[in-house]
Amino acid sequence: MGNLCSLFAPPKPVKKRRPIKKRQPSLSGSGSGPNTNRLNRFRSSSSNKFDDAVTQEQALAAAAILSRQQKSGGSLPFERSASQRHPVSGSKKNQLPRSSSTRSRSSTDPLLQPHQFLNQGVKLDDLETNHFILIHGGGFGAWCWYKTIALLEEDGFKVTAIDLAGCGINSFNINGIASLSQYVKPLTDILEKLPIGEKVILVGHDFGGACISYAMELFPSKISKAVFLAAAMLTNGQSTLDMFSLQAGPNDLMRKAQIFIYTNGNEHPPTAIDLDKSLIRDLLFNQSPSKDIALASVSMKSIPFAPVLEKLSLSDGNYGSVRRYYIETLEDNAIPVTLQENMINSSPPEKVYRLKGADHAPFFSKPQALHKLLLEIARNIRPT
């Protein structure tokens, strides 16, 4: 999957320090003085280095646990967080903790306490559905939602994250995918098996927006709401390639990062698209923690080309009957805000939210803020 070293900045040169003269220890016992300050700085530096190493190991461990979990329990969805598992209990003593992620909280992140959603006077039983289905974007997999899964489950929601065909640990050959229906079959299989009367909230990221649109046309009665997260929200007769062609000229970062794969020979259309690993940090993760970039670097796969070319057939009676929401990512280099707003203006959703400071992977760069918006959307009743 490429050299991880290309994703990180080179270490800064270490300056030589002058020898420190020994001083008599302070006798005041107050904890102040130059020796104490120097000791505190040393402890802080050591702690930061330790935290960085631990958090990176946690991210990679999450991917490994998720892989083992899916292999042992089935090929597609999983319904518990890969980052941390705890027994559910009704007592306050055993309430679920927050996500095991140790990312430093940003000053712009909402301060959500465990079960705050329930404490706001909104009961899960009063909602049309408490089941989220998360659909990843091109090249990603179910693994990318590990923070979102943990946060939603801690508020009592049921969460299913899916590996689309050839993605994550799904073993289908990416280069053999010839249609959008083939690519999204793991999603349509789940929707088809839902009991009569049961509904879900679909969340689609990036190319996952086209995937949930396809599902909305097929199963409108089983979808309560659809959330487009920095996603391709297309109109009838439009393909994802049509949408991306509206971007800037040939020198934009997305075009530079694309590497086309021709499994059937150069005289035939590409079968898949790879992304240059040396550019994905700037393209997808310009605001994300290093530990999550490391996870993505060893987990991302190729994007099948045929589904990107396919024009969607969307009707007002089916696709148009599902309530749609769009979440803009304001620091996005893959799908810039201007392109997101172009899609919104072409087919206005019920409501638009904006995530300040979020790159193209808000589940990494702004997990708490994204979680808050998903809760708000879940409890949003249909306007009268």
Residues 13-43 have pLDDT tens digits of 333 444 444 444 443 344 444 444 444 444 4
Give the domains, in start order, of the chain with CATH numbers.
129-377 (3.40.50.1820)
Say what the pLDDT of residue 57 is. Answer: 56
> Lowest-confidence range among 65-69, 136-140, 154-158?
65-69
206 is catalytic: yes
pTM > 0.95: no
Give the CA-trace dihedral at 277, 279, 281, 285, to 10 degrees. -110
**360 a catalytic residue:** yes
Entry field: residues in the chain: 384
If phi > 0 it is left, if psi is from -120 to 50 it is alpha, else beta; for residue 197 that is left
pLDDT in tens, 308-364: 999 999 999 999 999 999 999 999 999 999 999 999 999 999 999 999 999 999 999
How would residue 49 be classed by pLDDT, with cut points 50, 70 and 90?
Answer: very low
In the annotation, is 359 catalytic? no
- Of these residues, 136, 332, 359, 371, which one is catalytic? 332
Of 206, 292, 359, 371, which residue is the catalytic one? Answer: 206
Q: Which residue among 131, 205, 360, 371 is the active-site one?
A: 360
In the structure encoding, which two tokens stand for residue 315, read together? 């009707």
CB 149 within 8 A of CB 366: no
Per residue in 219-273, pLDDT (tens digit) is 999 999 999 999 999 999 999 999 888 765 555 788 889 999 999 999 999 999 9
What tokens appear for 91 in the block? 């007592």
Is the pLDDT score of 139 beyond 90? yes
| pLDDT at res. 225 | 97
Give pLDDT, residue 126. 76
Identify the residue with better confidence: 380 or 72: 380
